[in-house]
Amino acid sequence: MLLPKLQNERVLLQRIAKSDEQAFKYLFSVYHHELGAFVHSLLNDRESTLEVVQDVFLKIWLHRAKLPEITNFTSYLFIIARNHTLNKIRQLTQTQEKHKQYLNALESEILSESESPNDPYEALDKALSKLPPQQQRVFALRQQGLKNPEIASVLNISTASVAKYQQLAMQSLSELVKVHHFILPLLYMLFNIIDLGFHSL
């Protein structure tokens, strides 16, 4: 991959170190495309890529006072991106494993019940109560009519994370269909709620 090269790098980094926002915007415009391509080649997930790129540039800005000390900014930037990407991969792996464990536990509990709830809403409420806390919060706020950016603001997370939690929640709830086929209409309604959330990104 051909990496971009800053013109007058030393001067630009000194300007950013002094909180020059225009200089920082220029830095972003030079690097964000190539950086995004690099991160996406490792993650193969658009939402996670956007989140990592955002975090990388946020770190650059928060630690801008150190920029004049950097002798090779391009290498510095991509090392940060690599480290953030590896952390994201670990995070996603842990999340997927926890989600898999939750699905297995939910399915086992449903199958072990001697009597299934006659009320489909009761079955759905029970499943919702067993979602991981952050998925519950996102789902509850979505049901209240909040859009994804609003949910992100309330929970202090990115809109990409909001969408991911919604997706995981719906995957969990869909497991109920295997046993409680009669709640399909409810799940369809909830899918519509989530779909509205995605369109509000």
Q: What is the pLDDT of residues 65-82, one digit of tens each?
A: 999 999 889 999 999 999
Please tell me the number of Cα atoms within 13 Å of 109 on its side-chain side. 13
Q: Which residue matches tokens 């495309």?
A: 33
**Average pLDDT of the chain?**
78
Take residue 197 and report the two structure tokens written for it. 């959330």
CATH topology of domain 117-199: Arc Repressor Mutant, subunit A (1.10.10)
- In this prediction, residue 143 carries a pLDDT of 77
Q: What is the pLDDT of residues 138-196, one digit of tens each?
A: 888 887 888 888 998 998 888 888 888 888 877 777 665 555 554 555 555 555 554 54
pLDDT at 114 over 60: no
CATH topology of domain 9-88: Rna Polymerase Sigma Factor; Chain: A (1.10.1740)
pLDDT band at 110 (very low <50, low <70, confident <90, very high): low
Q: Give all strands (DSSP E) within 15-81, no chain letters.
A: none
CB neighbours of 102 closer than 8 A, spacing ≥ 6?
130, 131, 132, 172
Angle in degrees, 0-180, between the axes of helices 148-155 and 184-199, rounded to the nearest 10: 80
Query: pTM of the entire structure?
Result: 0.51
In the chain, where does the domain assigned CATH 1.10.10.10 lie? Answer: 117-199
- In this prediction, residue 4 carries a pLDDT of 55
Task: Please tell me the distance from the alpha carbon of residue 164 to that of residue 201, in angstroms, as a whole number.
Answer: 12
pLDDT at 198 over 50: no
pLDDT band at 102 (very low <50, low <70, confident <90, very high): low
In the chain, where does the domain assigned CATH 1.10.1740.10 lie? Answer: 9-88
The answer to whether the beta carbons of residues 179 and 126 sit under 8 Å apart is no
Radius of gyration of the chain (CA): 22
The answer to whether the beta carbons of residues 16 and 24 sit under 8 Å apart is yes
Give the angle subtended at the CA of 186 by the CAs of 182 and 184, to the nearest 5°. 40
